[in-house]
Amino acid sequence: MTVNEVKATRLQNQLRKQLGLPERSHYGDKPLPRGDCLPPDKQPKKTNCTGAGCGDSNGDPHLRTFDGLRYDFQAAGEFVAAAGPGFQLQVRQQPYPYSRLIAVNTAVAMDVAGDRVEVDLGGPGLTVRVGGGAAAAPSSAPLPHGGSLTLATDSYRPVLTVTWPDGSSAAVAAIGAWGLHLTVAPAKARAGKLTGLLGNFDGDATNDLRVPGGTPIGKPSYDSLYPAFADGWRVTRATSLFSYAAGTGPDTYTDRHFPDRPVQPADLGNRAAAEALCARFGITDPQTLTDCVLDVTLTGQPAFAAEATATQQIVQDVRASTSTGAFTGTEATLTVSRPGETVDYQVDGTAGQRLYIQVL
């Protein structure tokens, strides 16, 4: 039995205990060993995104556009995540097993300067294809048109990193055996030139969500996203980058009636147990914590909490790269040099917490 299998079972037992369910003594037909493995990995997962302009699709998909808008997109089918000249990423979203409310990413296809790269779930790992050929397992390989790909293991989960000739990059990580986490870091030269679920990368989050050729839909809601927005970014047989088995195609994965309805508070009956698990992984960013709790509650899988640390790291890196103040420990120093000048600084807080401001 691997450390990862022991770790996954022990984490699930913590959740089952809080839910009043019997703990598991085996992983499949393998008995759990006595004693503890290494402490739970609370270190943030590494990502290819280190500053502003990071696009993210994680969990039951929770999206962060390149300009920082965060929204949930639960549609079922294949969609354009981001597209520009010689640059495109498409995602396949499928309903989570036995759910009519949440979906997960199960495959990603990319146009890397003319080379086609596909990655999908292969059990607890990743299956990679280049040019529609047979599955390959490259540790590192150049692509014919100047891009490259690297398949490595980070914090016990496999990650495929793909780089474009202009410096754009994307990373796909496995969320256990349940889904995929996609992060995209476009080159600065692509600012304002992208389309898709992750927005246009123009620095304005208010205009990120729009159908091709249309006007912004405003604040994302169930009615504004489904089906019109979702249908606008669906791929067709002619535009798809995915490979298909005989007799299948984009329509195989399309369900225009999914999700049946928005997730309601009543659907999160075991919220306390999920909150405890997400906290154990060090999730403190308010929106990421909300997303983590939803994922763990509706799936029962600790892997979603573990992967939420990667999204939190992106949020923290973006915040640090765009802050106008110098932050050290629990203090921040902001400076203005002329009358009328303003500076902004954002902090995460909780009810009852005190914030002190000293003007010198």
Q: Judge if 234 and 291 occupy the same domain.
A: no
Q: Judge if 111 and 13 occupy the same domain.
A: no
Q: Judge if 107 and 208 occupy the same domain.
A: yes
Q: Is residue 104 part of a domain?
A: yes
Q: Is residue 35 part of a domain?
A: yes
User: Tokens representing 328?
Assistant: 């050290």
Q: Is residue 296 part of a domain?
A: yes
Q: Is residue 305 part of a domain?
A: yes
pLDDT for position 5? 61
pLDDT for position 42? 47
Q: Exposed/middle/buried for 243, CB within 10 Å: 0-12, 13-18, 19+?
A: middle
Q: Judge if 66 and 135 occupy the same domain.
A: yes
The CA–CA distances, whole Å, from 55 to 104, 165, 185, 237 equal 16, 19, 6, 25
pLDDT for position 338? 47
Domain limit, last residue, from 253, 282, 297:
253
Domain limit, last residue, from 211, 229, 253:
253
Strand bridging mode 103-112 / 87-95: antiparallel
pLDDT for position 45? 57
Q: Judge if 39 and 17 occupy the same domain.
A: yes
pLDDT for position 3? 54
Q: State the pTM of this model.
A: 0.81
Q: Judge if 117 and 225 occupy the same domain.
A: yes
Q: Judge if 68 and 99 occupy the same domain.
A: yes
pLDDT for position 69? 96
Backbone phi, psi, residue 34, to 5°: -75, 160
Q: Judge if 287 and 229 occupy the same domain.
A: no
78 by DSSP, 3-state: which?
A: strand
pLDDT for position 254? 98
Task: Give every CB contact of residue 319 below 8 A, 6+ residues apart in sequence.
Answer: 346
pLDDT for position 339? 47
Q: Which domain holds residue 304?
A: 7-43+267-321
pLDDT for position 43? 52
349 by DSSP, 3-state: which?
A: coil
Q: Judge if 294 and 210 occupy the same domain.
A: no
pLDDT for position 36? 46
Domain limit, last residue, from 287, 304, 321:
321
Q: Is residue 15 part of a domain?
A: yes
Binned average pLDDT, 10 residues per bin, the chain of 360 residues? 60 72 76 57 60 92 97 99 98 98 98 97 86 77 95 87 97 95 97 98 96 92 97 98 97 98 93 95 96 97 95 89 54 54 55 54
Q: Judge if 139 and 202 occupy the same domain.
A: yes
Instruction: Note if the bond before 39 is cis, omega within 30 degrees.
Output: no
Q: Judge if 211 and 81 occupy the same domain.
A: yes
Q: Is residue 335 part of a domain?
A: no
Domain count, the chain: 2
In contact, 1 and 27? CB cutoff 8 Å: yes
The span from the CA of 77 to the CA of 57, in Å, is 15
Q: Judge if 239 and 167 occupy the same domain.
A: yes
Q: Which of 199, 181, 229, 261 is nearest to 69 (CA)?
A: 199
Q: Is residue 1 part of a domain?
A: no
Q: Is residue 327 part of a domain?
A: no
pLDDT for position 39? 45
pLDDT for position 116? 97
